Amino acid sequence: MLKITTMFHHVKELQFNARVSKPDVRFAKLLLEQFGGPNGELKAAMQYFVQAFGCRKSNPDVYDMLMDIATEEFSHLEIVGATVQMLLTGVNGELKNAADESDLTKMLDGKPAKENYIHEAMTNPHFFVVSGGTPTLTDSVGNPWSATYIMGMGDLTADLRLNIGAETSAKMVYQNLMKFTDDPLVLESLRFLMTREVAHFQMFEAALNSIQPNFPPGILQSDPRFSNKYFNMSNGKDFKGPWNEGKSPEMGEDWQYIASPLEHVQQTNGLLDEKAKGTERTEKSVQKKNKSISAKRKAEADKAAPPEKGVMSW
């Protein structure tokens, strides 16, 4: 028997008091990118929500954080949806004014709004024609939201890095969206949402740092023969930097710069005779660490699994 006690509770106020100065059909369409797009709020909410299931017992602190942030992302989805709806003020009513000819020209201060509206409807007919002037779970050009946007590897160190990337992408989308509206109230909401992406980035980064060891992602360690090799794989002017000289940032190994990869591959029998250089790690030490981390992760998973008196409780 499974006992599940999780509960969602909707509060009828928005997390941030989203406001709009005037309708803007075209920006409403652009804003759909953060409603149902690959970097939008629904993607983030579902990604963190799904990832949390795997660490409920083994890492309850990270589970708590993931659920908190996932729930906040749902609140951001509500802010975006509310803003889209406000930006479409007038459209919904005109679409329902079936008895008389609709006058959409009033919506954009005398501009040829009806022609613009028809153009927008042609590029995203589902949003304007099928939905009747309400937000749709699509991106800005009408592609439907898909679960293929969700990324998760079942390993916290990998998932948290994926989430840092997701927050980075979402932050950039909001930053770019801010260039396409001059409504100060809309900009106020976008800035809030953009800022929360920055906050979440730091939360995921801090959570990642709290898990040790956390590099490389997963359990198995890398081959010391190849972990610090930099292959100069392009012709032209070469550049040096912390990515190919000095010490590697995570493992502290000395970068080995391979200036002529073809010659190097030929000399090492297709890298089969490659030797580890610039590192203290050996094949023996790698296998020892593989076993120790595997045992640690297994113990964490086993500790989370056993039922109590034949009952598994969430």
Residues that constitute the known binding site for Ca(2+) = 64, 68, 232, 234, 236
How many angstroms separate the Cα of 111 from the Cα of each of 20, 24, 108, 132, 203? 19, 12, 6, 22, 45
Which residues sit in the known binding site?
41, 64, 68, 73, 76, 167, 200, 232, 234, 236
Which residues, at least 6 apart from 230, have a Cβ–Cβ distance to it below 8 Å?
243, 244, 255, 256, 257, 258
> What is d(CA 167, CA 139) in angstroms, rounded to the nearest whole number?
17
Task: Name the one residue in this structure whose structure tokens are 């992408």.
Answer: 169
DSSP H/E element including 149: none
Residue 231, both tokens: 């292959």
Nearest to 29 by CA among 83, 75, 76: 83
Collapse the DSSP code of 226 into the 3-class scheme (helix H, G, I; strand E, B; otherwise coil) and give the result.
Answer: coil
Burial class (CB in 10 A: 0-12, 13-18, 19+), 98: exposed
> What is d(CA 24, CA 35) in angstroms, rounded to the nearest whole number?
16
Which residues sit in the known binding site for Mn(2+)?
41, 73, 76, 167, 200
